[in-house]
Structure 1
Amino acid sequence: MGAGGLGVRAAHTALSGGLALGLLLHPTDLREQVERGELLLPVIFIVLVLCSVLLYFKVSLMDPGFVKSEEEVKADKNEEQSIVIPQVSSSIKMRHCGYCMVKQPMRAKHCQVCQHCVRRYDHHCPWIENCVGEKNHPLFIVYLSIQLVALLWGGHTAWSGLYFKQSWDWLKHNIFLLMSFILIVIFTIVVLLLLISHLYLISCNTTTWEFMSYHRISYLRHSELENPFDQGVVLNLWRFFCSCHLTAWEKIYFHRNYEPV
């Protein structure tokens, strides 16, 4: 783990824990419930924040789908990645990565930050200091969803403790809740936009990289279909969230492009 990644993860943990603790210590709805002995909602809130932090570390530290060399795949006979690649059309050439010298499956891309090729590469996320790829993308969506719920709850809690008065004394005693509310609103907007955009792309079975770089990706430029991987919203969501195996995207690509009309 690099120093940059360690710093980002430490900042995320400190910010999440500090905001949650501050909302419990200041005069908010949660604090009043604790004082009355009604501990159910405060405990659920703390568990929710804890789950979001644990999911953050899981997504941040797990393998996003790094492409392994043929030697590494042979060494691990149970490796999901050892799938049979169908014959490739002459118009689409399977390439070897010029950086890590592995054979790239379709939809894989080399990440300059991670120094690895990643299966079904979506993007490199600086906030988790990891790539989002085929293996950790579903969990990334779960993390965003839980983080959004925690932020909405935290924003409501911070607002509940604010009683506005035009005085410096009021500002001095409410500066933490005010700053917390502003930060939570900013983070909520970012997470909400991220979640909506990712769910839309997932429903179309495309990635952020493919969406942003469509005209520079050979297998999309040469495809007879606008999106050769789109199999309908229901099947796209099922494959994304419920598939326990890595997908041979070549099979879907060539079947969709050359199936009888």
Structure 2
Amino acid sequence: MKTELHPSHTRGTADHGWLKTAFSFSFAGYYNPARIHFGALRVLNDDFIAAGMGFGKHPHDNMEIVTIPMKGAVAHEDSMGTNGIINAGDVQIMSAGSGIYHSEFNASQTEGLELFQIWVMPKLKNITPRYDQRTYNPADFKGQWKTVVSPLGTDIDSLQVNQDTYFNITEIAEGENLSYALHGAQQGAFVFVIEGGIEVAGEKLGRRDAIGISETETIEVKASTAGTKVLLIEVPMVW
């Protein structure tokens, strides 16, 4: 087993007033040559966006972009004609493919927005752009890995993307153990603690800590505190 520890305090940060971000990997004005990507996982930004603020229309191409609001709602609009709201409890996928423009704003004029924006490098380039989103019941995550993103043509109960990647979320009680089986020898997993604490791969992780794990078939996660919530992103290490 190979591991790569990412304590929360080692993340890059930016504070633009209306936007406060912690970067797991090099992004925008933050550059760390040791933190460019984990396999095909290129971006994991932990964002706070002030009421009524956001990003005006801007381009993307050849990237799989997943947005997971944790508090509040995102107002999304894009050049495919999509115009809607992504609420906490929803997961959104946008395959930028051959090119797309979109905007994303805090949908509230009074409350802050907290979200994760995650980019995965694509399997095939220049595909036709596509968009999807889905609402999940909080009960879906209790005591099990719930797959919310999976490769095209696989799990019909999840959003599907143009890469061999699986996004899994769980909420586990203190002392509870969960096992996760990787989908092949070339796969790895980035385990990110949303809330609470876990023991994994011989390490103790707290809120917003993460660890990259590869060269193994299974990963064992044990919750060390109550109300533990974990995001596990499985990606190909070679693509």
Q: Shorter-chain TM-score category? A: under 0.3
Larger strand percent: 2
* Structure number with higher helix proportion: 1
The TM-score normalised by the length of structure 1 is 0.25
TM-score, length-scaled by structure 2: 0.26
Larger radius of gyration: 1
